[in-house]
Amino acid sequence: MDPFERVPLGGTGVTVTRLGMGLAPIGGLFTPVGDEQAVAAIDAAWQQGVRFFDTAPLYGAGLSERRAGVALRGRGDVTLATKVGRRLVPGDAADGMWSEPSGAAPVWDFSNAGVRRQHRDSLDRLGLDRVDILHLHDPDDHLAEALTEALPALVELREQGTIGAVSAGMNQSAALTELARTGQFDCFLLAGRYTLLDQSGLADLLPECERRGISVICGGVYNSGILADPGQNGTFDYRSAPPEIVAKARAMAEVCARHGVPLRAVALQFPLAHPAVAAVVVGMRSAAEAADAVAMAALEIPGALWHDLVKAGLLDPELPVP
């Protein structure tokens, strides 16, 4: 695939490269990154042709947005996404997930006024005057408020031209499908639910989006690690992978190895075969990881490999493949 092909999101004028850079890792996800490495990672992705970047206030409690702003300010032709739903307040968010203190901590807030304030605060941290995509971030337990308070705020921001596309990002498909039926969304970020190991998004969200012309961005294509490195200590959905998942990922890796193709290339490219999927977003924390993601996205995968995955019972024959 061409990882730098520009494709439109829904009926908006916003376009994204087929490969996007997820900016959670540069917020110090699990291990510290630091400003210099974070900026170098974004610069490496940019230099190789990535033009779509996805951040959030939650990522390092503001660190990711601030670092993204430093790296991306002054660069033209960038598509930038951030999120609302968690307002940052003074505090300390450093914990087992976020390893670098930022002086702030997130609190849930899907109120209309709160969403507008979060949008302004994000622009301040980024040092920019607009973002292209604004996601409702993990509204799973706040759907009523997200629909009645947050969504009207996003729609008005789109009408004002302050954002280009209204979106929501979640790691489940059922609630996103409910949101799709409002007719107000241009795209969605679906994390970990349309991958080699989990195609649950195919049951509801992807067909609904295809019918409505809503674009889907797939995140979590490695299911938080197991499809990048199916070792004994692999993680699946941010937990230790159960034995049956490890066994399946290893079996997939063995099929890939017979064709001389890394499993992570197959995992990265698989979602893009579905007609509703516009892009995949891959987390990158260093210049080396950015280079690897680009290489995996551009690698030519022989059709026989997909056939062998099906033949081995590791992939449903009805699934679209590249």
At 105-116, the pLDDT tens digits run 999 999 999 999
pLDDT of residue 275: 97
pLDDT of residue 95: 67
Catalytic residue among 59, 194, 222, 238: 59
Listed residue (77, 47, 69) closest to 127, CA to CA: 69
Q: Is 238 among the residues known to form the active site?
A: no
Sign, CA dihedral 32-37-39-40, equals: negative
Q: Dump pLDDT digits (tens) for 46-77.
A: 999 999 999 999 999 999 999 999 999 999 89
Q: Flag whether pLDDT at 18 surpasses 70.
A: yes
- Give the residue ranges of DSSP H helices in the chain: 35-48, 63-72, 112-126, 143-145, 151-160, 174-180, 205-212, 243-258, 263-269, 287-298, 303-311
Amino acid identity, position 264: R
The predicted model gives 22-31 an average pLDDT of 95
The DSSP annotation for 184-216 comes to --SEEEEESSSSSS--GGGGTHHHHHHHHT-EE
CATH 3.40.228.10 corresponds to the domain 6-244+265-301: no
Alpha-carbon distance of 257 to 59, in angstroms, equals: 34
Return the pLDDT at 92.
83
Query: Three-class SS of residue 79?
Result: strand
191 CB-side CA count, 13 A: 18
CB 31 within 8 A of CB 99: yes
Every domain of the chain and the residues it spans: 6-244+265-301
pLDDT per position as a tens digit, 161-179:
999 999 999 999 999 999 9
- The answer to whether 273 touches 322, Cβ cutoff 8 Å, is yes
Using CA atoms, how far apart are residues 152 and 40, in angstroms rounded to an integer? 37
